[in-house]
A and B are shown apart, each in its own frame.
Chain A
Amino acid sequence: MKLHEYQSKQIFSRYNIPIPKGRVATTAEEARHIASELGGRVVIKSQVLVGGRGKAGGIRLAKDPHEAEDVATQILAMEIKGLPVRKVLVDEAANISKEIYLGITNDRGARKPVMMASSAGGVEIEEVARTTPEKIIKSHIDPLLGLKDYQARNIAIGIDLPKQHWKIFNQIANGLWRAYQDCDATLAEINPLVVTEDNQLIALDGKMLIDDNSLFRHPDLAELRDLDVEAPAEVEARKYGLTYIKLDGNIGCMVNGAGLAMTTMDIIKLFGGEPANFLDIGGGAGSDKVAAAIRIILTDPNVKAVLFNIFGGITRGDEVARGILTALDEVKPHIPLVVRLVGTNAEEGRKLLSDANMITAETLADAAKKAVAAAKSGKAGR
């Protein structure tokens, strides 16, 4: 789950990381008000969860409250990469003398968090990694011990930060580590961390990604989720503990297990069709979950056929069959349905479905071929 810049910076601030004075506004009047409170030049920043806000014109300077109102009016009317701008952050403008990158993320290969810093701040770290990888200083953090002072110091030395800033840099690095750890972040990033003309270090921009699996212990963070970035069907699916991702094809898929769900998409494509979605009903799905899954698949008007591919392990074939029957009873779809049940309690499941007049398949390849043919002909097998 992504947090907005202003949310990330508020969290950073609680961990003794200096951030610019400023507040978030939902109207232009509010923006003017904040600008007059701050006095002097301000920067108006659109709060949308996509990169490239600056290039899109979503981050602009204003010299006084009047201009702040004008700029905020324009930015609040924008859409950036398809997302509406609902909020702007009004921050006091900084006089920048140097920009630094500082971030922590999970290193899958090393199985440890890694702190990364670069003297080339203000640029995306992926870009720096591509063009000037030697400018990135990395330090792995022992998850049981936490960030050590010497590591933060060595990073400061590595990015040629003058000695006078080491102490405050250490405070910021430690704050970032604690914020990352306490919030179960998968990314905590300050880009840029600026050195101002009067030698202050300030986190000008902030970004945090929170591990969805940890939200049970962060109800406060879970409330910050911005539903604009997700398709409504994806939000609905999550309520039922399902993972649904909409794609562009016309064959709906309901599968148990992520690997098999991806494979089902792949094999549909292999046999000349296009999958309409990824949908994993997860392990141990009961009939109510299955019914919800079918409803969600059918909200996509492009869907011309549905392929149910269930290989029972923790999921039981009879439970899935009951869910399919419940859902069919409720939504009565008029498109062909192809079903394949194998594994735990599959026999019982097949018995339950024998009267439902669905197209049945034995192998995965057979199921995919039948679904592709059904989507093309549009004939329901009933």
Chain B
Amino acid sequence: MSILINKNTRLLVHGITGNEGLFHSTQMLAYGTNVVAGMTPGKGGEWVINGKVPVFDSAKVAVEATGANTSCIFVPSRFAADSIYEAADAGISLIVCITEGIPVQDMMRVRNYLDQKMVRLVGPNCPGLLTPGESKVGIIPGNIAIPGNVGVVSRSGTLTYEVLYALKLLNHGVSTCVGIGGDPINGTNFIDALTMFEADPQTEKVVLIGEIGGTDEEKAAEYIAGHMTKPVVSFIAGQTAPPGKRMGHAGAIVEGGSGLAADKVKALRVAGVRVATHPEEIPSLLF
């Protein structure tokens, strides 16, 4: 078992003929993900990756022709919201959006629309999902994690790779890694992922990687205290970040005295979570 994706995932890649879309589709296919279709308007009828993946003009036709159930979006930020709507309207139930830089008002409309359709979005501005040994959807390098019982959820991309890699070096495996993304408005939050990990029989422990900005870590801490039976270990990035400055991620900003790393660490510790001082310390707190 795992959460969100497994070997039955049938993936449609939006923007598969673009530079990054093609590179990472090739990597996903090589990892074993069933990349069943791609779509780029105007490129329908072509085949990519040595003739292995058909390209369609629309998500609807791609879903009808291939039975795709999951979407991965690589299109540029100005078109990304439209791609999410298109995937949702085509009947896709899980949408993973890698694209960074989507206007926040677009995301508010997307999120409120998806809530009405019961479609799950992961991201945007995220590295995607990895269920080691089964499937990867997104850009997480497959070779930095091995199958196991640790669930990982993170607002960051490359910082998540650090943690996966640190776990692998000590032979600790991962059930599923969920990159929820660094935007202020996203599809899946910490509590969603924690709920799924708590219910997943394969997952025995959870790593939660947060950062400055917003109050999602504080809300997660409250949830952990009230609902989690599995142990959670955490790391919060941005202890040294100056207030009022957006630290790369649109959502990573301390404003009006809210979103401080110290407050998040404190809330998590109160909830019984062990918080690491740096990412490579996480494995020693887990085992």
Contact = CB atoms under 8 A, between A and B. Distances in A.
B198 interface: no
Given A258-B156, A259-B159, A260-B162, A108 B239 contact: no
A262 B279 CA distance: 12
A211 B104 contact: yes
Nearest to B213: A108
A217 B81 CA distance: 14
A177 to B, nearest CB: 12
Nearest to B209: A259
A184 B246 CA distance: 17
Contact of B249 (A106, A259, A363): A259
Contacts of A142: 112
Contacts of B113: 144
A10 interface: no
A259 B101 contact: no
Contact of A143 (B105, B212, B278): B105
Contact of B214 (A108, A267, A284, A364): A108
Interface residues of A, number: 53
A258 B247 contact: yes
Given A106-B104, A213-B102, A343-B144, A111 B111 contact: yes
B278 A270 contact: yes
Given A261-B248, A313-B127, A213 B101 contact: yes
Given A144-B109, A213-B250, A259 B182 contact: yes
Nearest to A261: B248
A256 B101 CA distance: 16
Given A258-B156, A260-B162, A343-B144, A144 B280 contact: no
Given A211-B104, A211-B105, A257-B158, A363 B280 contact: yes
A247 B239 CA distance: 13
B146 to A, nearest CB: 15
Nearest to B277: A270
Nearest to B142: A344
A113 interface: yes
A326 interface: no
A365 interface: yes
A280 interface: yes
Nearest to A257: B158
B275 to A, nearest CB: 12
Interface of A: 106, 108-109, 111-113, 126, 142-144, 181, 184, 186, 211, 213-214, 216-217, 243, 245, 247, 255-263, 265-270, 275, 278, 280, 282-284, 311-315, 342-344, 363-365
A175 to B, nearest CB: 17
Given A108-B185, A364-B162, A259 B141 contact: no
Contacts of B102: 213
B286 interface: no
12 contacts: A106-B185, A259-B155, A259-B156, A262-B237, A262-B252, A266-B239, A267-B278, A280-B248, A313-B141, A313-B158, A314-B24, A314-B157
Given A111-B108, A184-B105, A245-B242, A263 B162 contact: yes
Given A258-B252, A270-B277, A315-B158, 8 more contacts: A106-B184, A111-B108, A143-B108, A143-B112, A258-B211, A280-B247, A283-B157, A311-B161
Nearest to B250: A213
Contacts of B54: none
Nearest to A216: B78
A263 B24 contact: no
Contact of B238 (A126, A184, A262): A262
Residue of A112, A213, A265, A280 with most partner-chain B CB within 10 A? A213
Contacts of B235: 263
B154 to A, nearest CB: 7
A3 to B, nearest CB: 16
A181 B277 CA distance: 41
A311 B158 contact: yes
A283 B144 CA distance: 18
Interface string B227-246: 00000000101111110011
Contacts of A262: 159, 211-212, 237-238, 240-241, 247-248, 252
B158 A256 contact: yes
A213 B140 contact: no
A312 B141 contact: yes
A284 B20 contact: yes
A181 B212 CA distance: 27
Contacts of A214: 103-106
Given A108-B214, A213-B101, A313-B141, A143 B242 contact: no
B51 interface: no
Contact of A344 (B100, B141, B160, B162): B141
B45 interface: no
Contacts of A111: 108, 111-112, 185
Nearest to A186: B104
Contacts of B197: none
B42 interface: no
B137 to A, nearest CB: 13
Nearest to B257: A126
Nearest to B102: A213
B185 A259 contact: no
A363 B247 CA distance: 23
B190 interface: no
Given A262-B237, A275-B240, A342-B161, A313 B139 contact: yes
Interface in B121-160: 127, 139-141, 144, 154-160
B281 to A, nearest CB: 8
Contacts of B105: 106, 113, 143, 181, 184, 211, 214
B165 interface: yes
Contacts of B257: 126
Contacts of A342: 144, 161, 165
Given A181-B105, A364-B280, A263 B247 contact: no
A176 to B, nearest CB: 15
